[in-house]
Structure 1
């Protein structure tokens, strides 16, 4: 039995929860995937997968087994890729996951120049707010906003991600300009929907941070749509400073400054972070991409491992 191949098949089935999708990834029949995993189960003397006619999932012992196996398999994949890139020219497919708004406004223009400099690197860019597991999801680089990650990843801060309240001049002329947190209750709010829920606005007064009871006028998981609605005088919008830079500079929107802070979080250091696994940094395509993007998009300050 080719145990290494069986483990590769098992990992893919566990991640996709599908024999057919795993088979498509490896270019082999689903029956071959099932047979190799069955041979592995027989050699171990345990059942690793629960199989039905419609679903497949790890057993409890299967999940524990993969928890131990996965790091070693990831290191083996990294070693093979590192050895395979013996030439001085970085090459291969570079998988990047980024937040949609940041990706469209800032990352993609930078990647156009990156591709000119490194034409042998194929960029595979996924726009999503969903959290990723860099090892499990086979992502080389992720760009996410929020608190500095505490996981076993390298985090390099690209932007402080300061949130700004804004509206169109016409909206403010019609509805008045809010000056306090309580004033927001009489205004229409354009809200962002995150991966799991609508992002609530938070204000800080003498008693600390509290959720603000705003009236939604429009909700979307697309920052560009929120900006468009704000420019059409539909309400107040609370977005990252980098997202508002264009409309503010053109005068389509103006910043609204309250007497107390308003944001989408409750304090603590936030930012836009470039994330990667230290083990993959040694691979030329990952190393040159990390350094290029930090130089282009950030201040080069490195976060904690």
Structure 2
């Protein structure tokens, strides 16, 4: 069985495109098609459904993909172990992250990562669904959620912090709430995801439990960036993870924090930011290097939480520059 054909098969499975695979390996698309056809003939199974719009795995192809991916990872890991320890980091690393966090932060960190390691390829998948990295083939999973014994290994960076913000214009017109209960009289902009409309929780200190406050307002959305824009336009008050906010908005006076003496959350329990990997993935030097880079670049606590909310926060580029 041709090893290159298996690598083509994995890349087509990931990209859904013969042309993208050919570009990645710098070969003609006809070569990729020929290798895949030969592989299907050898196996006696159709691995892909082909159409003018897309290429996707058949049921047999999906089962074969999981087995081949694991085998190729083992082969690549064995080859890597034989390489010199000071050799350049190269090859493919698959990273999974939440959608908004990935767009706003992880994508920029990957740009820095690849500037440091030009021969490194990254496959970044953004989804808010809780995936199984082993089943999905992710080398590194960046998670925001409760601490659970998932069998994954990695680093807990920090508790997830939230910011309650509004525009100065809104606060000047409607007043600044002094207690969580006063939020019931305000226009609150709510995130609404798969689990329904967001609830807001507050506590005076970490020694006490979060208590819910029922709020309402003129806008709900399943896109947090829409809510941030509405808050900046003076439409109301919004509660979102601290990493959602561009710190320049505070520096320029477009947003102001509210109820900074209270702990705020969109969950009755603490959520944590974690960088995790399956144990077998951490045998790979490249995965360890990428994971260490992300841990160091984000920091603990994360760079977006290092300044007090009463102060001007440092901008992203300063905090995440290479050290």
TM-score calculated relative to the size of structure 1: 0.68
Give the Å deviation of 1:156.
1.7
Q: Which one of the candidate residues 262, 265, 275 is aligned to 1:263?
A: 265
- Greater CA drift, 212-221 or 24-33: 212-221
- The residue aligned with 2:82 is 83
Gaps of 5+ in 1: 301-305
- Aligned partners of 2:72 and 2:59: how far apart in 1? 20
Q: Deviations over 1:74-103 (max 9, x none)?
A: 22233334434x142553367566555577
Q: Deviations over 1:29-65 (max 9, x none)?
A: 3333333233323333333333345443322223223
- Aligned partners of 2:4 and 2:167: how far apart in 1? 59
| Contact kept in structure 2, 1:105 and 1:243, CA below 8 Å | no
- Aligned partners of 1:91 and 1:291: how far apart in 2? 13
Give the Å deviation of 1:160.
0.5
- The residue aligned with 1:200 is 197
Bigger relative contact order (CA 8 A; separation at least 6): 1
- Aligned partners of 2:23 and 2:110: how far apart in 1? 33
- The residue aligned with 2:35 is 36
Q: Which one of the candidate residues 241, 253, 256 is aligned to 2:256?
A: 253
- Aligned partners of 2:148 and 2:14: how far apart in 1? 23
Aligned residue pairs total: 289
Give the Å deviation of 1:236.
0.8
TM-score calculated relative to the size of structure 2: 0.65
Q: Which one of the candidate residues 211, 214, 217 is aligned to 1:215?
A: 217
Gaps of 5+ in 2: 203-209, 303-323
Distance 1:263 1:199, change over 3 A: farther
| Alignment RMSD (CA, Å) | 4.6
Matches within 5 A, 1:31-180: 31-84=30-83, 86-88=84-86, 90-92=88-90, 128=126, 140-148=139-147, 153-178=152-177
- The residue aligned with 1:303 is none
Give the Å deviation of 1:238.
0.9
Give the Å deviation of 1:201.
2.1
